[in-house]
Amino acid sequence: MKAIKIILSVLLALLIVIVIAVLLGLRNLDALVEAAIESVGTHVTQTAVTVERVHIELTEAEGALYGLTVANPEGFSQPYIFQVDEVGLQILPSSLTDPVMVLPLVVIDGAQLYAEHANVADINLQQMLKNIQRGEGEEVKATTASPDVRFMVQELRFTNATLHLLSSEFGQRRVDMQDIVLTDLGDSEEGLAPAQLTRAILRPIMDQAREQLEGQVREEAEGALRERLEDELSDDQRDALRSLLGR
């Protein structure tokens, strides 16, 4: 009987220790997620990635990142290439204890991207894409700041973003980016490592921003060339040029 009491006391003590450990882990969860995002993001982009605050509410199966910024690559004047006030996400509760954590929905709304076009060869978006691709295939060693966990994102929405175009030749302007919807990033069996997921999200965003930047620069260059030509042409030649260009 005494032995049973001792065993029960030991089990109760262990249970208390486990509960305390879980509570401390949950209390520090936000800080751990913040550290992981900054560590993995900086590794993938090769520039500083920072987060002001993270709040994960496991009881509601949701979370949010606040004040997410990605620094510009070296050699460009703007401090950031990407910043967003808030990223919302949903968590599938049943996946919390699985090898792959499933996020049914991630929403990046109202992001600001800064595209710098210094000359034909120097475009910050192109440099960022090179940075992202450079470490592809490498795995980030699991640490406290970069845990050995894998993810699946069932749907990601990138909406209402603004692209700020900064060109030494054509000045500055703002354009609305097209919304992006990505589905099935990873799967529930193997998922994606944090670095792989970061690349899967950033690459299409940077690709689209680059395409819009190149399109705007091309239009500006064609417009400047057209004006220069029209200034040097006679009225008849100017009308012929406009007809040829469809304007």
Distances (CA, A) of 203 to 59, 173, 179: 32, 23, 14
**Residues 195, 43: contact at Cβ < 8 Å?**
yes
pLDDT in tens, 90-101: 999 888 888 899
Rounded mean pLDDT of 17-22?
A: 36
pLDDT in tens, 190-205: 999 999 999 999 999 9
pLDDT in tens, 218-245: 666 555 555 555 555 555 555 554 555 5
For 53-62, the CB contacts below 8 A with 24+ separation are: 54/30, 55/30, 56/29, 56/30, 56/91, 58/26, 58/29, 58/91, 58/93, 58/96, 61/90, 61/91, 61/92, 61/93, 62/88, 62/89, 62/90, 62/91
**Residues 72, 50: contact at Cβ < 8 Å?**
no
More confident residue, 60 or 86: 86
**What is the model's pTM?**
0.74
Supply the mean pLDDT for the chain.
77
